[in-house]
Amino acid sequence: MRIFTKAAAVGATAALISLAATSQAGATTYSGASCENVVPCLSLYYNSNQQGSHSDFRGYGEIDNLAGYTFASRSAGQGQPVKNNAASAYFRSKTTDESAIIYFNSNQGGACDELWAQGGRYSIANRLHHTYNNNASIRIIDGSLAAGVCYQF
């Protein structure tokens, strides 16, 4: 009985470590205004045409709610909330088939805009289509959503 208890404890510990490693590896993080030499990285801008203050989000995964994040770089809009204030975006990718998706609603719901590398190493949205000043969550993935799900840049 004692051997079984120790084996169960070791197994449970290994499962928790594995789960923790998986969730950390897939986390998109807010990096303020610094995407320098980091890919994948999504920059959301306060104004159209990648103008004004921006904030950067890097790594694979998602942010379910952009509330609490602010535009970080020194320019028009600095300190303003990112949620429902992004007008344009720039996405730098590590491979030629990564994408960043910006959603209208929290928890990756509603209409969306997808910046997809499509064989290149970056994608630009000079003016977001479905999520212009109505952006609530993001997802960065290795690959693309099915065509027609989001507006694609």
Integer-rounded Cα radius of gyration of the chain: 18
Q: Which fold has domain 29-152?
A: Gamma-B Crystallin; domain 1 (2.60.20)
pLDDT tens across 127-147, in order?
999 999 999 999 999 888 766
- pTM for the predicted model, two decimal places: 0.80
The pLDDT, as a whole number, for residue 132 is 98
The pLDDT, as a whole number, for residue 71 is 96
CB atoms within 10 A of CB 81: 15
Say how many Å lie between the first and final Cα of the chain, rounded.
Answer: 60
Rounded Cα distance, 60 and 5, in Å: 37
Q: Contact 67/80 with Cβ under 8 angstroms?
A: no
pLDDT tens across 22-56, in order?
333 457 888 776 777 778 999 999 999 999 999 99
Strand-strand pairing, 29-32 and 98-105: unpaired
pLDDT tens across 63-85, in order?
999 999 999 999 999 999 999 99
